[in-house]
Amino acid sequence: MKILVCISKTPDTTAKIAFTEGNTKFDENGVQWIINPYDEWYALVRAIELKEKDPNAFIHLVTVGSADAEPIIRKALALGGDEAIRIDSNSNDSFYVAKQIAAIAKEGNYDIIFTGKETIDYNSASIGSMLSALLDMPFVSLANEFNYNGNIATVKREIEGGEETCEVNLPVVISCQKGMAEQRIPNMRGIMAARTKPLKVVSPVEATATTSIKKFDTPPAKSGVKLVDPANMDELVRLLKEEAKVI
């Protein structure tokens, strides 16, 4: 079973979100980088859990990013990937990124392609769906359980107002969310092993970005909290009705 896990580098969840160069660039000053939580906690760890049950499985990691993404990839290898591929490009256009990953996926003939449900920086939630279209594979989004038996995968996914279980033939693209796997932290043995695991760097294939970021803005700050006496909830109801007009 060949599993490909897409890994993205994102700012830490507590990072200060600020912009430079006339609000056209994210200010990376002092920012700590992490593996996008959905990619790590759910996509990667589920792949590792599957490999633990199936000795014939192996896990390749792929990221689109410049050399400064390597610590993140090493951490993913330390958690349990077998080999990693870094496509050397800094694009943040989803289509461009998906084209790059699709090229790797075609070459590697993977049975399962896992992505996180979205990244916590650009929140586009697009790569999995785009990959499925580029590779002409089925796509199951927002999966919270995944198993396979032979060539058939059983996936539980979130739907509007509930959950649905479905069966799908491999190969398949899956976007992963909470429920897929138990969070893990890398251990010393994993960290040591990761140092010598293969990390291949490849050049991007020809692709055209379809969008570009013109500028960033931050939302206006709240004007300040209005405190209401805990003994006077009628007043809070009045404010919500007459001032905020939300109930």
Partner 1 sequence: MVLVYIDQADQQIKKSSLEAMSYGAAIAKQLGCEVAALVLGTVQDNLADLGKNGAQKVYHLKNESLNALDVKSYSTLIATAAKNANATVVVFAHNINGKAIAPAVAVKLEAGLVTGASSLPNTENGFVVTKTVFSGKAFASIQMETPIKVIAINQNSFGVVAYENTATVEEINIPIPTPSIKITKVDKVVGEIPLTEASLVVSGGRGLKGPEHWGILLDLAKALGAATACSRPVSDSDWRPHHEHVGQTGIQIAPNLYIAIGISGAIQHLAGVNRSKTIVVINKDPEAPFFKAADYGVIGDAFEVVPALTAAVLKSKAAN
Ligand X SMILES: Cc1cc2nc3c(=O)[nH]c(=O)nc-3n(C[C@H](O)[C@H](O)[C@H](O)COP(=O)(O)OP(=O)(O)OC[C@H]3O[C@@H](n4cnc5c(N)ncnc54)[C@H](O)[C@@H]3O)c2cc1C
**Is residue 201 involved in binding partner 1 (CB under 8 A)?**
no
**Residues 48, 64, 127, 176: which binds partner 1 (CB under 8 A)?**
127
Whole-angstrom distance, CA of residue 6 vs CA of residue 113: 8
CA distances to 79, 136, 159 from 49, in Å: 11, 27, 24
Residue 246 contact among partner 1, ligand X, none, beta carbon within 5 to 8 Å by kind: partner 1
- Rounded to a whole number of angstroms, the minimum distance from the CB of residue 14 to ligand X is 8
Q: Which of these segments, 56-64, 72-80, 194-202, 225-233, binds partner 1 (CB under 8 A)?
A: 225-233
* 69-89: b (≥16 Cβ within 10 Å) or e: bbebbbbbbbbbbbebbbbeb
> Which three-class secondary structure state does DSSP give residue 233?
helix
**Is residue 33 involved in binding partner 1 (CB under 8 A)?**
no
Residue 67 contact among partner 1, ligand X, none, beta carbon within 5 to 8 Å by kind: none
**Is residue 203 involved in binding ligand X (CB under 6 A)?**
no
Residue 133 contact among partner 1, ligand X, none, beta carbon within 5 to 8 Å by kind: partner 1
Reference 196, options 63, 84, 87; nearest CA is 84
- Write the DSSP assignment of 11-44 as a string of letters: E-TT----EETTTTEE--TT--EEE-HIIIIIII
**Is residue 37 involved in binding ligand X (CB under 6 A)?**
yes
Bridging pattern class, strands 9-11 and 33-35: antiparallel
Whole-angstrom distance, CA of residue 218 vs CA of residue 223: 15
**Is residue 13 involved in binding ligand X (CB under 6 A)?**
yes
**Residues 31, 125, 191, 207: which binds partner 1 (CB under 8 A)?**
125
Residue 120 contact among partner 1, ligand X, none, beta carbon within 5 to 8 Å by kind: partner 1
Chain contacts with ligand X (rule: CB under 6 A): 13, 37
